[in-house]
Amino acid sequence: MKSISSSAVPEQIEKKLASQIRSDARLLNNSARFPTWLCAITLALALATCGWMAWNTYASYRDADASRHRDARSEELRGTIVYLDEVLTMSARMAAATGDTAWEERYRHYEPELDAAIKEALVLTPGSSALAPSAQTDAANVKLVAMENQAFTLVRNHRSEEARAVLFAPPYEKQKKLYALGMTQLLSDVRSRIDTNFHQTRRRALVSAAGSGLLLVSSIAIWIAVIASLRRTQSDLKHRIDERTATLQATEERTRLIIATAYDAFIGMDSAGLITDWNPRAEATFGWSSEEAVGQPMHELIIPPKFREMHVRGLKHFLDTGEGPVLNKLIEISALHRDGREMPIELMISPIRIGDNFIFSASLRDITERQRADAERHVISEIVQGVITTTNLNELLELAHRSISKFLYAENCFVALHDPKTDLLHWDFWVDKVDPLPPPLLVGEGFSSYVLRTGQPLLLTEELKTRMYEQGKFTKSGSDSPSWLGVPLRTPWRTIGVLAVQHYEKEGVYNQRDLEFLSSVGDQIALAIERKRAQEELKQSEEDFRTMANNISQLAWMADAKGYIFWYNQRWFDY
């Protein structure tokens, strides 16, 4: 049906919108990818380089600080070495001068301290593995130690005079001067190396600090460039998004207008079975406003009880398997109106996938009027065909009653035909659950007479009936019925009778649409009755002619234009 297929437009637009949204997402992702990677790479490099430079600067300043401490310690050790060297010399000479062995003990006490001080001084010196006393200094030291030990031995043997001769002699003084000169040179070398290392370390620290500053400035410049690039990209993306958003909003507005003005009812449902969309046509079709319907379970609102379990199972089956036997197919089924009545609808349901979820769009139409029209055509066709298939008027009226009963309640139905000569209404067809067939009735003030006189259909309600009784224009006849519908049997020349149906128990059984249907059927019945009457009158006329012709004494016959005889009277067979 064209109107139903055109209602698929919202589904197509929804799919197009979903495709545009996915396209926008890809566009944004691709556009933002380069600045994002640039930021990530720049940040990683900047952090790594700054970390390395910071560590290098820290290490340089740490080494410089260590150099300062070494320098101070070196100076302290220099004085200690000179002092201890003099202590050892004086201890040895005092032992020789006094002959007291206590000085030897003092000598032995300070001797390890001097060795330790010299070793520490060498250790403090950067590159100390290549630094050592000269051979001359070392030899002088060995000779001095030997002379001093010789003197201590002489003192212990009470030979102090000889000991003094050893320690105060020119050879001892010579070796002493050589050792002192060598140690002075060694300590100068230590100090020189410490100073050199300190200056180198400080220079590296300054270079590292300068490099860190330069890197910081470069990083700031790069970040400014990146931020500017990001802002330009953001501005461009914002412009694109604004344009796309405006386009989508316009498309969505068009979609809403299409759905809102669609000839068919449009209903949207989510995968939980809840109503999400409800256009004005759906409001008119089912009697529920959009505010009342949206958010309600579909199966509880418009699906008849006999179909609800089937609907719930079908929805679950589709979500589990992706299969649905009624999806994307035009079907006819009944739906539930707000007032509780079921009505026939034509329906097409289409699933739409959005991400991992589904929504369902349903385009539907109330086909009550179409079915009524089809029924009317069918009833009228049966009645017209009945003129040919039935043998008499009674059979024709019975066929008409059966046809009408398919469409509306007609268990109490009559056809009253008017005889103009007697002005009587004859009940040529009578089916009634309460009243028996009445005798012919003179046209008077009853409802059937009113329809006959006015040639207009009459749909009685209790209010209208009471008002007509109060006006005194009608008299009551037969059992009272709360629902009564009568239509005239009209031909092009006159009204020949009345067709009526009634219900004795319920009020409001018939409506305006039933009146229109029965009026249309009544006109066809009137023409059919006229044709059937004409057929019966012609048949009776032919029978009368044959009877008269067969009873005359002469020979009689009938021939066509070519002279062929096609009828003889009975007199021919008597000869």
Per-residue pLDDT tens over the stretch 105-120: 888 888 888 788 777 7
State the chain's mean pLDDT as an integer. 80
- What does the pLDDT look like over 402-427, one tens digit per residue? 999 988 999 999 999 999 999 999 99
How many Å separate Cα 142 from the centre of its chain? 96
pLDDT for 568: 74
Highest average pLDDT, of 5-19, 49-63, 407-421, comes from 407-421
CATH number at residue 292: 3.30.450.20
Query: Are 275 and 292 found together in one domain?
Result: yes
The yes-or-no verdict on residue 275 having pLDDT over 90 is yes
pLDDT for 418: 93
Contact 256, 268 (CB under 8 A): no
Contact 444, 475 (CB under 8 A): yes
Angstrom distance (rounded) from CA 292 to CA 290:
5
What is the percent of the chain where pLDDT is above 90? 19
CATH number at residue 440: 3.30.450.40
Angstrom distance (rounded) from CA 336 to CA 396:
37
Highest average pLDDT, of 7-11, 54-58, 448-452, comes from 448-452
Q: How confident is residue 37, by pLDDT bands cut at 50, 70 and 90? A: low
pLDDT for 169: 83
Angstrom distance (rounded) from CA 147 to CA 159:
14
Query: Are 72 and 198 found together in one domain?
Result: yes
Which tokens in the block code for residue 281?
């046509």
- What does the pLDDT look like over 133-155, one tens digit per residue? 567 777 877 888 888 888 888 88
pLDDT for 29: 57
- What does the pLDDT look like over 311-345, one tens digit per residue? 999 889 888 888 888 888 899 899 999 999 899 99
Q: Any idea which residue has 């740490």 for tokens?
A: 62
**Range of the structural domain that residue 456 is part of:** 372-551
- What does the pLDDT look like over 164-198, one tens digit per residue? 888 888 888 888 888 778 777 777 776 777 677 76
pLDDT for 515: 92
User: Quick one: DSSP state of residue 129?
Assistant: G
Residue that is last in its domain, among 215, 234, 253? 234
Query: Are 445 and 309 found together in one domain?
Result: no
Query: Are 404 and 495 found together in one domain?
Result: yes
pLDDT for 14: 47
Q: How many domains does the chain have?
A: 3
Residue that is last in its domain, among 304, 336, 366? 366
Query: Are 358 and 404 found together in one domain?
Result: no
- Alpha-carbon distances, residue 202 vs 70, 72, 122, 192, 212 (angstroms): 14, 16, 22, 15, 15
Burial of 10 (0-12, 13-18, 19+ CB in 10 A): buried
Angstrom distance (rounded) from CA 421 to CA 457:
24
> Using only C-alpha atoms, what is the Rg of the chain?
64
Three-class SS state of 273: coil
pLDDT for 415: 95
